[in-house]
Amino acid sequence: MGAGGWRIRVRGQVQGVGFRPFVWALAREFGLRGRVWNDPEGVGIEAWGPTSTALEGFVAGLTARAPGLARVDAVEVEAFDGAAPEGFEIAESRGRGAETRVVPDAATCPDCLAEVLGPGRRAGYAFTNCTHCGPRFSILKGLPYDRGQTTMAEFGLCPDCAAEYRDPSDRRFHAQPIACPACGPRLWFETGGAEVPGDPLALAVGVLRAGGVVAVKGLGGFHLACDAGNAAALALLRERKRRVSKPFAVMGSLEALGAVAEVAGAEGLLRSAAAPVVLVPSRGVLPEGVAPGMVTLGVMLPATPLHHLLVAAFGGVLVMTSGNLSGEPQVIHNDEAREKLSPFVDGFLMHDRDIARRLDDGVERASPPMVLRRGRGRVPGVFPVPFQGQALGLGGQMKGAICAVKKGQALLGHHLGDLDGVLNAAEFHRAIADYTALFDLKPQVVACDLHPDFTATRAAEAMGLPVERVQHHHAHLAACLAENQWQGGKVAGIVLDGTGLGEDGTIWGGELLLGDCLGYERVGSLTPAPLPGGDRAAREPWRNALMRLDMAGQGDLADRLFDGPVETLRAMASKRVNAPLSSSAGRLFDAVAACLGIGTQSYEGEAAMRLEALAVEGLEPYPFDGLDPAPMFREIARDLGRVPPGVIAGRFHEGLALAFARVARALVEEGRAEAVALSGGCLQNAVLHRALVRHLGGVTVLTHAQTPCGDGGLALGQAVVALARLERG
Query: Catalytic one among 11, 20, 357, 522?
Result: 20
pLDDT band at residue 39 using 50, 70 and 90 as cut-offs: confident
DSSP class of residue 574 equals H
Contact 605, 373 (CB under 8 A): no
Contact 3, 82 (CB under 8 A): no
Tell me how far apart the alpha carbons of residues 184 and 455 are, in angstroms, rounded to a whole number.
40
- pLDDT, position 82: 80
> What average pLDDT does this structure show over 697-724?
97
CA 415 to chain centre: 7
Residue 651 scores a pLDDT above 90: yes
- pLDDT, position 146: 81
Q: Where are the alpha helices (DSSP H) in 552-629?
A: 555-561, 566-575, 585-595, 606-614
Tell me how far apart the alpha carbons of residues 55 and 32 are, in angstroms, rounded to a whole number.
8
pLDDT band at residue 586 using 50, 70 and 90 as cut-offs: very high
Domains within the chain, CATH numbers bracketed: 5-90 (3.30.70.100), 187-364 (3.90.870.30), 382-484+708-728 (3.30.420.360), 493-702 (3.30.420.40)
Tell me how far apart the alpha carbons of residues 58 and 49 are, in angstroms, rounded to a whole number.
9
Contact 196, 189 (CB under 8 A): yes
- The helix/strand/coil state of 195 is strand
Name the region of 720 (left: φ>0; alpha: ψ -120 to 50; beta: rest): alpha
Q: Letter for the amino acid at 653?
A: H
What is the number of other CB atoms lying within 10 angstroms of the CB of residue 705?
Answer: 15
Cross-strand bridge partners of residue 298 = 249, 279
Q: Burial level of 83, CB count in 10 A (0-12/13-18/19+)?
A: exposed
Contact 41, 100 (CB under 8 A): yes
- pLDDT, position 96: 66
> Nearest to residue 174, comparing CAs of 164, 182, 183, 159?
164
Cross-strand bridge partners of residue 412 = 403
The answer for residues whose C-beta is within 8 angstroms of residue 2's C-beta and 6 or more apart is 52, 79
* Residue-wise pLDDT tens digits, 163-200: 999 998 999 998 999 999 999 999 999 999 999 999 99
Query: Catalytic one among 38, 324, 484, 685?
Result: 38
Residue 459 scores a pLDDT above 90: yes
pLDDT band at residue 85 using 50, 70 and 90 as cut-offs: confident
The answer for residues whose C-beta is within 8 angstroms of residue 216's C-beta and 6 or more apart is 204, 222, 223, 224, 225, 306, 307, 310, 320, 323, 349
Q: Letter for the amino acid at 302?
A: P
Mean pLDDT, rounded, of the chain: 95
Half-sphere exposure of 223 (CA within 13 A, CB side): 23
> What average pLDDT does this structure show over 379-405?
94
Residue 38 appears among annotated catalytic residues: yes
Tell me how far apart the alpha carbons of residues 382 and 404 are, in angstroms, rounded to a whole number.
9
Residue 586 backbone dihedrals phi, psi, to 5 degrees: -60, -40
C-alpha distances in angstroms, 426 versus 149, 404, 567, 602, 684? 23, 18, 42, 25, 28
C-alpha distances in angstroms, 71 versus 27, 98, 480? 19, 16, 22
Residue 666 scores a pLDDT above 70: yes
Tell me how far apart the alpha carbons of residues 447 and 714 are, in angstroms, rounded to a whole number.
10
Quote the pTM value: 0.94
Contact 629, 527 (CB under 8 A): yes
> What average pLDDT does this structure show over 601-616?
96
Percent of the chain scored above 90 by pLDDT? 87
| Four-residue CA torsion sign, 370, 374, 377, 379 | positive
- pLDDT, position 94: 82
Q: Burial level of 263, CB count in 10 A (0-12/13-18/19+)?
A: buried
| Four-residue CA torsion sign, 506, 508, 513, 515 | positive
> Nearest to residue 530, comparing CAs of 489, 575, 573?
573
Contact 310, 318 (CB under 8 A): yes
> What average pLDDT does this structure show over 263-269?
95
> What average pLDDT does this structure show over 555-569?
95
- pLDDT, position 286: 98
Tell me how far apart the alpha carbons of residues 631 and 622 are, in angstroms, rounded to a whole number.
8
- The helix/strand/coil state of 242 is coil
Tell me how far apart the alpha carbons of residues 655 and 641 are, in angstroms, rounded to a whole number.
20
- pLDDT, position 532: 96
* Residue-wise pLDDT tens digits, 52-80: 899 999 999 999 999 988 989 899 999 98
> What average pLDDT does this structure show over 485-511?
96
- pLDDT, position 472: 98
> Nearest to residue 494, comparing CAs of 652, 668, 686, 692?
692
Tell me how far apart the alpha carbons of residues 175 and 18 are, in angstroms, rounded to a whole number.
8
DSSP class of residue 261 equals B
